[in-house]
Chain A
Amino acid sequence: MLNYALLVHGAPYTHQAALSALRFADTVVTGGHRLATVFFYHDGVHNASALMSPPQDEVHLAEGWKRLHQDYGTQLLVCIAAGLRRGLLNADEARRHGLPLHNVEAPFELTGIGQLVDAMLNNDRLITFAP
Chain B
Amino acid sequence: MTSVHASDIEPQDLMVVLRHPPHGSHWLREGIDVALVAAAFGQRVGLLFQGDGVYALLKGQQAGALGQKGTHPQLAMLEMYDIESLWVSAAALTERGLSVDDLILPVKPLTAEAVAELMQIQPHTLIF
Contacts and interface: CB of A to CB of B under 8 A. Distances in A.
Interface of A: 7, 41-42, 81-82, 112-114, 116-118, 120-121, 126, 128, 130
Interface string B26-38: 1100100110011
- Dominant SS among interface residues on chain A: helix
Contacts of B40: 114
Contacts, number: 37
Contacts of A117: 14, 34, 37-38, 41, 43
B29 to A, nearest CB: 10
Of A116, A120, A130, chain B has the most CB atoms within 10 Å of the CB of: A120
Nearest to A113: B37
30 contacts: A7-B126, A41-B30, A41-B34, A42-B26, A42-B27, A42-B30, A42-B128, A81-B33, A82-B26, A82-B30, A112-B37, A113-B33, A113-B34, A113-B37, A113-B38, A114-B37, A114-B40, A114-B41, A117-B14, A117-B34, A117-B38, A117-B43, A120-B14, A120-B124, A120-B126, A121-B13, A121-B43, A126-B124, A128-B127, A130-B127
